[in-house]
Amino acid sequence: MGIKITGIGSYIPSVVEKNKDFNNHNFLNADGSKINHENTLIIEKFKAITGIEERRYAEAHLTSSDMGFFAAEKAIKDAQIDPETLDYIIVAHNYGDVKKGSNFSDIVPSLASRIKHKLRIQNPSCVAYDILFGCPGWVEGMIQAQAYIKAGMAKKCLIIGTEMLSRVVDHHDRDSMIYSDGAGASIVEQDESDQGILSFETATYTYDEAYFLFNGVSYNQKKEQDTKYIKMYGRKIYNFALTNVPKAMKSCLDKTGIPIEEVKKIFIHQANEKMDEAICERFYKLYDLSMPDGVMPMSIHKLGNSSVATVPTIFDLVRSGQLENQEINKGDIIIFASVGAGMNINAIVYRY
């Protein structure tokens, strides 16, 4: 008996923001002082570390719930199900709906309720709710969905990760270049095969780590100080991720008894190319092995970091044959893994 993804869909916004588009930004240090480097050098160093060449931003008239709806429609169509048969709609995000030009995060009603409304689902037994779990939100939604199905509380679940970070960034902060917009969605059902979720691992670290990602004021001290933007302690996150994510992945894989040599793909949160590579290399080192070529598909170069949307989006791109030299086949063992605000970590071992 398997609990597996029967449909997948993503929404990649149409507006392309290239690195060169940041040349005219007035980047500042956290204390408001001017950075003593030309923007061309700042951008060059940024690309070398993150791997990001360009990112996608949503069109002005769209919100996060719109993008989540678009991805959900594709997943429902891919799964060939009647949306009225859904038992749960779980939507992972961090900032709700933020309209273009606004600094207000709108989360009432929930994004899940808004998306259910857009899907025109009449069934009141289809329960719709949001989760705030940082970048690992979609993976956590998958873990929750399989728990509902395993407990006999559901047969079909829709899990969505949607985020519009372009509207909550401080344009005077170099880290603003990392973030992007997008949405990914999946349908999870039970079937008679041996495919699907084999094990999972999830954890929240708060003792010292709770505020590694936080909301803070603009580095431009002339701007309104009541308005908050997404901020992070990048070095602390990097060190935290390198220590804890490989351990979570190993614990998750060891629960299955499957040797690491059978892992075909690792779909990891597209946060930072260098960090993701280091995480996967560290994971293989825990087994005294080197990371195989091509095991970690990457979309961050062109799509940036869209938070909760990155894992389902990269999975959709590979599954649909849209990433060069990347494919998955029936029976393949894959791992989903993520790290983000909270600080939260999770992983799933999955038989495709």
Q: Where are the domains of the chain?
A: 2-193, 198-351
Q: Which residue has the tokens 């933020």?
A: 98
Q: Name the DSSP letter for residue 194.
A: S
pTM over 0.85: yes
Tokens at 126, concatenated: 């289809």
Alpha carbons 245 and 338: distance in angstroms, whole number: 8
Which amino acid is residue 143, in one-letter code? I
**pLDDT for the residue numbered 101:** 86
DSSP string, 129-148: EEE--STTHHHHHHHHHHHH
Rounded to whole angstroms, the Cα distance separating 84 from 86 reads 6
Q: What is the mean pLDDT of residues 305-322?
A: 96
Query: Rounded distance, CA 116 to CA 23, Å?
Result: 41
Q: Among 20, 35, 10, 9, which Cα is nearest to 220's?
A: 35
**Above pLDDT 70, what percent of the chain?**
100
Please identify, in words, the CATH class of the domain defined by 198-351.
Answer: alpha beta
More confident residue, 18 or 192: 18
Helix axes 273-285, 234-256, angle to 10 degrees: 40
Mean of all residue pLDDT scores within the chain: 95
Please give the Cα distance from 283 to 260 (Å, whole number): 10
Cα separation, 28 vs 34, whole angstroms: 5
242-259 tens-digit pLDDT: 999 999 999 999 999 999
Provide the pLDDT confidence category of residue 37 given band limits of 50, 70 and 90: confident
> Residue 352's pLDDT is what?
95
Q: What is the pLDDT of residue 192?
A: 85
Confidence label for 227 from pLDDT (cuts 50, 70 and 90) = confident
Both structure tokens of 331 = 């029976």
**Which amino acid would we find at residue 254?**
D
**pLDDT of the residue at 193:** 86
- 148 vs 193, more confident: 148
Topology of domain 2-193, CATH: Peroxisomal Thiolase; Chain A, domain 1 (3.40.47)
Confidence of residue 194 (pLDDT cuts 50, 70, 90): confident
CA-CA-CA-CA torsion sign (326, 89, 272, 246): negative
Strands 127-131 and 88-92: parallel
- Pick from 101, 105, 121: which is nearest to 113 by CA? 121
Mean pLDDT on 298-320: 97
* pLDDT range class, residue 189, cuts 50, 70, 90: very high
CA distance 301 to 303: 6
Residue 53 has pLDDT above 90, yes or no: yes
> Does the pLDDT value for residue 129 go beyond 90?
yes
Digit-coded pLDDT (tens) for 88-112: 999 999 999 999 988 889 999 999 9
| pLDDT for residue 204 | 98
Same CATH topology for 2-193 and 198-351? yes
pLDDT of residue 247: 97
Is the pLDDT at 302 greater than 80, yes or no? Answer: yes
